[in-house]
Structure 1
Amino acid sequence: MNFQFTEEQEMMRKMTRDFVDNEVVPYAGEWDKNNHFPQDVVDKMFELGLTTVGVPAEYGGAGLDHVAQNLVMEEIARGDAGLATTVCASTLLAADPVLIAATHEQKKWWYGMQNEGALAAFCLTEPGAGSDAAGLSMKCVKDGDYYILNGTKQFISNGGVAQLYTVFATLDKKLGAKGICCFMVDRNTPGITVGPKEDKLGIRSSNTTSVIFEDVRVPAKNLLGAEGEGFKIAMKTLDLSRASVAAMAVGICQASLEASVKYAKERMQFGKPIAAFQGIQFILADMAQYTQAARLLYLEASSKQDMGLPFTQIASLAKCFAGDAAMKIATDAVQVFGGYGYTKEYPVEKYFRDAKIMQIFEGTAQIQRIVIANDLLRG
């Protein structure tokens, strides 16, 4: 077992960290305040290859392994979890159904668009179907060489800025999971409209909207896999994405820890830095423990993905633990800062708000515990 990063992994981590320190950290607070999507920074990230880290080498990408991809996600989230959500949702989450189920020709089309700068969105969640993904209502009807899509998707990351969608719809809701299909959809297809940008608690720089499909005609050649395989594709996609979300949560942990250590050294009370008090030291030590433990979990999940080993349980462990850790550590950071932590003068209240979503999207903390328990009991 080797805990040393490869040269490529370390290079990607350092390049991303340097970019984030210069182009993200100084501006993330304003993006958050103004609910602003920073297209100019996304464009710069594209030029560096950060928005295409999921593109395989044979389709013009860097061909990064999952460890390198998720190190990039951690570093972006350390600067701004909303921006990390934008990148992760596009190059990993939305693209994973393509990686999993697409033909060579389908991959050429999808990755070709991404290599030209297209962002993507993963359209699974609906107003009435969140954790119960098999209960989705969006309809797909075969019509010659096309499928006609009708329905609404909810809380879609990149919904209003994506040029590409992976969309899940059902042939017949009565079929449950067996009726679901997955499609690659061009945003410019007639019949697609986007709802208003959500005014969210956290990750406010990410674009989150509903996406409405009204008689949208999608070429049958854009069906991923066979009819009825959409649910399996969605579950495999979520398995892959959980380590990435865990990495983003660790980015929030790391940012909270770094801010707390710096503040504790500078804040004077009773004639000395608060870092001199054991009560503060214990909080910082716990923050460091949880951060590193969460990091090791997502790295193990990523490594198992790269080695082709079973990873469903470890990915859920990583996502669940890291999400809970982010919420705990961000809360502790506010406590270290005291009254100042409760104001927008310092970044820790933003970390607190950003952390909550890590326990919700890509499978709630409770869903992860179900996955973990089921795996244990099957064994």
Structure 2
Amino acid sequence: MLFSSQRGPGGAHGLASSETRAPLGYAVAALSKLAQSDLLDRTGLRKQTEQLVFTATRGGFRTAAAAGRAFARRGSKGPGVRPTTPSAGGVFDLTPTEDEQMLVDVVSEFAQEVLRPAAAAADDACAAPEGALRSSVEIGLPILGVPESLGGLGDERSAVAGTLVTEALARGDMGLAVATLAPGAVATALSLWGTDEQQQTYLPAFTGDDVATAALALAEPTVLFDAMSPATTAVRSGDGYRLTGVKSAVVRGAEAELFVVGAQLEGKPALFVVPSSAAGIEIEADPSMGVRAAGLTRLSLTDTPAELLGDTDGTAYADCVRLSRLAWCALAVGTGQAVLDYVSDYVKTREAFGEPVAHRQSVAFMVADIAIELQAMRLVTWKAASRAAQGKEFAREVALARKLCADKGMKIGLDGVQLLGGHGFVKEHPVERWYRDLRAVGLMEGAVLV
């Protein structure tokens, strides 16, 4: 066994208990080997010459959804397997466990070696390189929130591990992080709220080598959109449901084979599973100011057949929105850290009037403010993740985290651009892209989930 059975200092929220430590240990060992292999060179990511899926910036597109794979019905209609909640240790400690830290170390290397070099080209093309997506599958991102018994990494709820991984990915690039995390969001939703039949039918598509492209679609292109009150409607139709409406900011929608869609059902919001092969689906390019590498699209549904995921009283839907917002907070923290790292080096090496600009008090104070605000964002996000992993009420903590990360994250991006002066305005430096990405934190709903 790679790890001892003792829990780390963050025992209240560890990714895996001693009973499930071995599978996760072997997974982390495999990730470590991957990071040290020549895969990164063989995929050609460092040359950034991968053929891109589509170029929405050159006129956009409008098309029917991808044909996708056939999902054969399996299992019973009874309750599915649910991740267990770790026991609380009674001590307030947000230190990652040994397992979580090792996983984060591997993902951090992936973000720096694969995502960061590919980010500028992916942002220009509004699509993620195929090689980066394949590599994300190899390090297990789609199955992080799936129980071991269903082919995932561990049986405990993984909100903390998911938050740490999401933050680490965003230090490479937020847009590519969203693109690589999108299939895992759907797999996690199926693990948390799916019936036995839904889990047996859909989850195998996420646990093999040929992972299905999937998207969590909650946002809508309406004025003053309220995530808790979607305009998309669902009506009962025989044993199933029919959806009508439009969803926006759908990640990699042109190639998605499965969607989890939020809709209003008899006055309550609910989640629905929609294969891309269902009738009445149309996809349209929806390029945005930021998070462009995620390949955002608009999903139009017209009397589209769907099946309910979770309950009809809005509980599962509300948890989904909150866990998604938590993931966006983690993305803000990771991107904010990238800004801090970059500007800290820049102001120490950029000279004006015969000395580094970091010697100017106003510059030093601005960098210090970024560090302070970033740490506050990180701690409130980790606390919300810890409560979610333990199955405690976490709505208040998520609301605080989202408010703080949306406001301070955007300020960090703005200050980063300001600290670079004229260089902050040009694409030679990545800070302008990070500023655009950080503006999405207070606007985006869905897409990612922890």
1:134 to partner: Cα distance? 5.5
Counterpart of 1:194 in structure 2 is 283
Q: Which residue of 1 aligns with 2:212?
A: 118
**Is the alpha carbon distance of 1:309 and 1:188 closer, same or farther for their aligned partners in structure 2, counting shifts above 3 Å?**
same
Change (3 A) 1:271 1:129: closer
User: Equivalents in 2 of 1:202, 1:10: separation in Å?
Assistant: 29
Secondary structure (helix, strand or coil) at the match of 1:340 reads helix
Q: 1:34 to 1:232 in 2, by over 3 A?
A: same
Does residue 105 of structure 2 align to residue 14 of structure 1?
Answer: yes
Aligned residue number for residue 295 of structure 2: 207
State the secondary structure of the residue aligned to 1:79.
Answer: coil
Q: Deviations over 1:343-367 (max 9, x none)?
A: 111111111111100121139xxxx
Aligned pairs (5 A) from 1:242-257: 242-257=325-340
Relative to structure 1, the CA distance from residue 3 to residue 167 in structure 2 (aligned partners, 3 Å threshold; closer, same or farther) is closer
The reply on whether 1:223 has 2:316 as its aligned counterpart is no
Tell which has more relative contact order, 1 or 2 (C-alpha 8 A, sep 6+): 2
Offset of residue 12 of structure 1: 1.1
> Secondary structure of the residue that 1:149 maps to in structure 2?
strand
CA 1:359/1:214 → structure 2, altered by over 3 Å: closer, same or farther?
A: closer
The one of 61, 81, 86 equivalent to 2:152 is 61
Distance 1:312 1:20 in 2: 30
Return the offset for 1:69: 0.9
Structure 1 residue 51: Cα displacement: 3.0
3-state SS in 1 of match to 2:96? coil
Partner of 1:107: 199
TM-score by length of 2: 0.73
Question: Would the aligned equivalents of 1:154 and 1:210 in 2 still touch at CA under 8 Å?
Answer: yes
| CA drift at 1:135 | 4.7
Match of 2:324 in 1: 241
* Cα distance change of structure 1 residues 135 and 244 upon mapping to structure 2, 3 Å threshold: closer
Q: Give the Cα–Cα distance (whole angstroms) in 1 for the partners of residues 417 and 296 of structure 2.
A: 26
Contact residue 134 and residue 176 of structure 1 kept, 8 A: no
1:62 Cα deviation from its structure 2 partner: 0.9
* Matched-pair contact (CA < 8 Å) for 1:42–1:51: no
Residue 263 of structure 1 aligns with which residue? Answer: 346
In the other structure, the counterpart of 1:374 is: none
Alignment of 1:61-80 (within 5 A): 61-63=152-154, 65-80=158-173
Provide the C-alpha distance between the structure 1 equivalents of 2:238 and 2:158, rounded to a whole number of angstroms.
Answer: 39
2:445 corresponds in structure 1 to 362
User: Which structure's residues are more often helix, by fraction?
Assistant: 1
Match runs of 1:222-371 below 5 Å: 222-226=307-311, 228-229=312-313, 231-362=314-445
SS, match of residue 197 in structure 2: helix
2:138 to 47, 56, 71: 47
Cα distance in structure 1, aligned partners of 2:149 and 2:261:
24
3-state SS of paired residue (2:377): helix
Q: In the aligned structure 2, how far is the partner of 1:167 from the partner of 1:132? A: 15
| Contact 1:129/1:136, CA 8 A, preserved across alignment | no
2:123 aligns with 32
Unmatched tracts of structure 2, length 5 or more: 1-91
Does structure 1 retain, via aligned residues, the 8 Å contact 2:423–2:429? Answer: yes
Does structure 2 conserve the Cα–Cα contact (< 8 Å) formed by 1:100 and 1:237? no
Instruction: Supply the RMSD in Å over aligned alpha carbons.
Output: 2.1
- Mean Cα deviation higher: 238-247 or 126-135: 126-135
Report deviation, 1:328.
0.8
User: In the alignment, which residue of structure 1 is the partner of 2:243?
Assistant: 149
* Alpha-carbon distance in structure 2 between the residues aligned to 1:6 and 1:16: 15
How far apart are residue 130 of structure 1 and its match? 6.0
Q: Secondary structure at the match of 1:121?
A: strand
CA distance in 2, matches of 1:181, 1:299: 27
Within 2, Cα distance between the matches of 1:53 and 1:86? Answer: 15
Change (3 A) 1:157 1:130: farther
1:138–1:358 Cα change, 3 Å: closer
How far, CA to CA, are the matches of 2:115 and 2:320 in structure 1?
28
Q: Write the deviation string for residues 221-280 of structure 1: whole angstroms up to 9, x where unpaired.
A: x32235x43x33221111222221111000111010000011011101111111122111
CA distance in 2, matches of 1:351, 1:296: 21
Structure 1 position 318, deviation (Å) = 1.2
CA contact (8 A) 1:156 1:209 kept: yes
Are the equivalent residues in 2 in contact too, given 1:238–1:362 (CA < 8 A)?
Answer: yes
Task: Confirm or deny: 8 A CA contact 1:86 1:207 kept in the other structure.
Answer: yes
- SS of the aligned residue for 1:126 comes to coil
- 2:180 aligned with 1:90: no
Seen in structure 2, the aligned counterparts of structure 1 residues 136 and 2 have a Cα distance that, compared at 3 Å, is closer
CA contact (8 A) 1:96 1:240 kept: no
Letter in 2 for 1:163: E
Report the TM-score, using the length of structure 1 for normalisation: 0.86
Shift of 1:206: 0.5
Describe the SS at the equivalent of 2:116: coil
Q: Call closer, same or farther: CA 1:91–1:129 in 2, change over 3 Å.
A: farther
* Cα distance in 2 between the residues matched to 1:97 and 1:65: 12
CA contact (8 A) 1:81 1:203 kept: yes
Cα shift at 1:95 = 4.2
